[in-house]
Structure 1
Amino acid sequence: MNNYRKRWLGTGTAVMLAAALLAGCGSNTNNTVSDPSKSASPPASAAKPFEGKTINLVTANHPWGDAIKPLLPEFEAATGMKVNVQGYFEDQLTQKLTVQFTAGSETPDVFMYRPLQEGKLFYKNGWVQALDEYVNKDTEYDFADFSKSAVGTATVDGKIAGIPIITEQEILYYRKDLLEQAGIPVPKTIDELVAAAKQLHDPGKEMYGFVARGQRSPLVTQVSSFLYSEGGDFLNGDKAAINTPEAVKAFTTYGTLLKDYGPPGVLNMSWPQAFGIFGQGKVAFLTDANSLYKNLTDKEKSQVADKVGFAAFPAGAGGSKPYNITSWGLAINTRSVDKDAAWEFIKWATSKEIVLKTQEKGNPGARSSVWDNPQGTTGFPPELVTVIKESVKGGIDHDRPTVINVGEARDAVGEIVQKVITGETDIQAVADKANEALQGVIDKDLNK
């Protein structure tokens, strides 16, 4: 019997015992025999306080959704609650939620969302229920077990807007064989990465030193770790900060790596293209999200599956500070008619027991205890587990500007890097202009 079901049955037994004691202590002023048909005994469903309740869950078409669905029958059996599930592709999901919430819909009760992409917008519009009053109600839930950075990602204006279910960090992927043949140690600093990429770059033989996202918007999340590691950030309070010396250095380094040591066509590359060319055996180094590692270790997708190494993000002037974020979380619709039932589901889905089960399927969760449990790391290469644990320690809780209009903000940042890639010489001027654009986005937020 699983722990969750044990807790519910234990609760139900206590309820029935208390009811029996109350019935036994009650006075009978008429001294008449009680009618057995009118017994005060609780119904058989007393162990299931949510008997007859139904909640609607909307998920992204994501491996986490695939992992949680087979586990739902045990939750339904333990609580008496019915969970209806619908799944959508990412963009369809955002569109559906926006339409329903704008219309004031009471459904879905619980939904997957991307805290850094739409979290602030959803919260500011009053569509997301703050969960502060729920997370510490049950001591066994142990909210302190969640990574601080992952929780920070899902926090808006000091309020917990969602619970992390999928986390990711930016790491360094590298070709073990190439470094060994050249006698190059795994880079531990950004300067060492640049030097190694230069040494291994041999375009005449279709071997490139470095690859990463070069598309204007997609690159922003991955340049963020360069920015933090150089001591910068996108914002400093309510002020845009993408034209500071630290920011200009970070953007220039990232753009120069792609310009001087990247493969042809980097301006049009998002993660599928970057991982694709690395998997073809044509690149020495790649920086991107750890959650995408199977694209390189799956022999059906990668020609170098047995030659891929993983390392912590290299340090800059500010140290090694990769993003450590919640890429997907669970939230409650503020208009849900039964928020307690909705929370009961989230509490179960993000419990230590269930996170262990979903993480075994390769879904990187946010609970420290699960990462410390050998069973919780079986779905990941041992070398990657070590890197993840190291990355969590100094991770930053965002990978893009934390504003409502994320699209405009990403375009402003991406413009700077793309100008570096295309050979623009006065990057400071580009950064100053982009900083003004980002400040305009921030000011719109402040005036709402």
Structure 2
Amino acid sequence: MFSRKAQRSALAVPAVGALLVGLAACGGTPAADDGEVTDLTIIAANSPWTEGLKTLASTYEDETGVKINIEAYGNEQLNDTLKVKLNAQSDDVDIFAYQVQDVMREFSRNGWLTDMTDYVESDAEWNWEDFQPAAREAVQLDGVVYGVPVMTERHVVYYRSDLLEAAGIEPPETLDELEAAAEALNDPENGFYGIAMRGARVPLVTQLSSFIYSFGGDFQDEDGNATIDSPEAIEAIEFYGDLLKNYGPPGAANMGWVEASAIFAQGNAAFYLDADSQAYTFLDESNSAVVDSVAFARFPEGPAGSKFYNIVPQTVGISAFSKKQDAAWEFIKWVTNEENTTQMLADATVPVARQSAWDDDAATASFPAGLVEIIRNIGEDGVGHDRPQLEQVAAAREIIGGPAITAIEGGDVASAAETANTAFQDLVDSEK
């Protein structure tokens, strides 16, 4: 079972004071650009990965005298702290763990990130290819690697196995089967609904992404141009809206993940689609009425197959202003090697990015078997982003959520998508 404490940290990261932990690097004391390295400083989110790092501290410390200072913050405080330090070109930060989709474009444009391509590709034994393809995709811009992914998250189907079994319905393998099952189990007169998902304008965009991909579309084309009004995107938006309009709870257009997941956890919906990091919500006996009946399925196939987001909530990069970049890489390489990554998965239930760790039966013993099976079989189907790929991502989500709200309300989606696409393109153009 997922560590509820760890998963809560990943989803609702509280602000905490700086945490200083004495660590050490393996393989002797590395040299700095201007001499011997005696310490490194890491700034990171207060996340499951950061918690797991503590369990490796004593081993790391035993192998060298290099001290590692870890400063852990809540996400917003983390971003503010990093921007202040990096904007000042401070060299007192060597490594930082950051949210790829929120800040990587801004940080790389400002020259704050070290190009790590040669580092990750130079050590065959460390094995960059062992990281999931979507995770490797997520930490790159224009072919340049800006970090090592240390946490992942996927779009999955949560469903009531007892209800499907009683109705003789197999877990849906296609989106059409999902719609048919939601219709068959929908019972609004008795306060029970076929499906619950995010329907609020901004929160829904990340979940809409997998539908758009599986219909053959994306938010942008290969050149970065807006494609919200493509036939594939329109069809996906209409499908998403119809699910909630026809088989979802009342007020769906005002629901984020907290409200939608609560409906499923209370036993009032047959299906819930969202991130696999929410599994703890339904496996916590103190908060869930579906502990014994919740099951997990891969995101269903659409016309273009099962194409779902497989994102990186946290990656570890090196500051462009650090004077100890080689030493910083030695630490990152050590903490993300196969042995330590597998230990992170097993001991701290960190949803890691290395495929070999997920293939280890002992390491995955604490995870729900259904989720492990999904993650083991991602292959090339995961997509490394769940939102538009530009710096002004919050503004983009506000725009793109508009047509989805129109769909939920039964309006003219094609017209709304055309209007949204124009506004989105203007936003994209403003960054060129």
Shared fold per TM-score greater than 0.5: yes
Aligned mate of 2:258, from 272, 292, 295: 272
1:150 Cα deviation (Å)?
Answer: 0.5
Which residue of 396, 418, 423 corresponds with 1:409?
A: 396
Report matched runs for 1:68-217 at 5 Å.
68-217=53-202
Say what the alpha-carbon RMSD is for the aligned residues. 1.7
Pair 1:49 & 2:30 matched: yes
**CA positional deviation for 1:392:** 4.1
Alpha-carbon distance change, 56 to 180 in structure 1, aligned in 2, over 3 angstroms: same
Q: Is the 8 A contact 2:25 2:64 kept in 1?
A: no
Segments of structure 2 that go 5 or more residues without pairing to the other structure are: 1-23
1-structure distance, mates of 2:153, 2:427: 26
Please report the TM-score for the alignment, with normalisation by the length of structure 1.
0.87
How far apart in 1 are the matches of 2:404 and 2:216?
17
Matched position secondary structure for 1:391: coil
- Counterpart for residue 336 of structure 2: 350
Q: Does the residue aligned with 1:238 lie in a helix, a strand or coil?
A: coil
Letter in 2 for 1:280: Q
What is aligned with 1:64?
49
Q: Which amino acid aligns with 2:384?
A: D
1:357 to partner: Cα distance: 1.1
- Per the alignment, residue 32 of structure 1 pairs with none
Structure 1 unaligned runs (5+)?
9-46
CA distance in 2, matches of 1:174, 1:53: 52
Q: Secondary structure at the match of 2:285?
A: coil
CA contact (8 A) 1:52 1:82 kept: no
**1:331 matched to which residue of 2?**
317
| Cα deviation digits, residues 55-114 of structure 1 (max 9, x gap) | 111121211111111212221321321111111111221122122222222232111111
TM normalised by structure 2 equals 0.90
Per-residue deviation, 1:7: 7.2
Of 301, 305, 318, the match for 1:319:
305
Structure 2 CA distance for aligned equivalents of residues 305 and 169 of structure 1: 20
C-alpha contact (below 8 Å) 1:115/1:326 kept by paired residues: yes
SS at match of 2:420: helix
* Cα separation, 2, equivalents of 1:266 and 1:98: 36
Cα distance change, pair 394–271 in 1 and its aligned pair in 2 (3 A): same
Q: Distance in 1 between matches of 2:25 and 2:225?
A: 51
Conservation of the 8 A alpha-carbon contact between 2:29 and 2:38: no
Within the candidate set 216, 227, 235, 2:220 is matched to 235
**Whose relative contact order is higher, 1 or 2, with alpha carbons under 8 Å and at least 6 apart?**
2
Q: Structure 2 matches for 1:417-432, cutoff 5 A?
A: 417-424=404-411, 426-432=412-418
Shift, 1:52, TM fit: 5.2
Q: What SS is found at the alignment partner of 1:393?
A: coil
1:258 aligned partner: 244
Tell me if structure 1 keeps the 8 A contact 2:150–2:352: yes
> How many residue pairs align between the two structures?
403
* Structure 2 match to 1:31: none
Q: How much has 1:131 moved relative to structure 2?
A: 0.2
- Per the TM alignment, residue 143 of structure 1 is displaced from its structure 2 partner at its CA by 1.1
The 3 A distance-change label for structure 1 pair 52 and 337 is closer
2:308 partner SS: coil
Deviations 1:217-237 (A, max 9, x none): 221111111001001111112
Deviation at 1:158, TM superposition (A): 1.1
Task: Tell me how far 1:140 sits from its aligned partner.
Answer: 2.0
1:28 is aligned to none
- Structure with bigger gyration radius: 1
- Taking only the aligned residue pairs, the percentage that are identical comes to 42
Matched, 1:441 2:422: no
- 1:332 is matched by which residue type in structure 2? I
What per-residue deviation string (whole Å, max 9, x for no partner) do you get for residues 167-198 of structure 1?
A: 11111110001111111111111111111111
SS in structure 2 at match of 1:195: helix
In structure 1, the partner of 2:16 is none
Cα displacement (A) at 1:212? 1.1
**Distance change (3 Å), C-alpha of 1:124 and 1:419:** same
Distance across 2 between alignment mates of 1:365 and 1:352? 10
Give the corresponding residue for 1:362: 349
Asked if structure 2 preserves the Cα contact closer than 8 Å seen for 1:169 and 1:392, the reply is no
TM-superposed CA distance for 1:312, in Å, is 0.7
**For 2:366, what is the secondary structure of its paired residue?**
coil
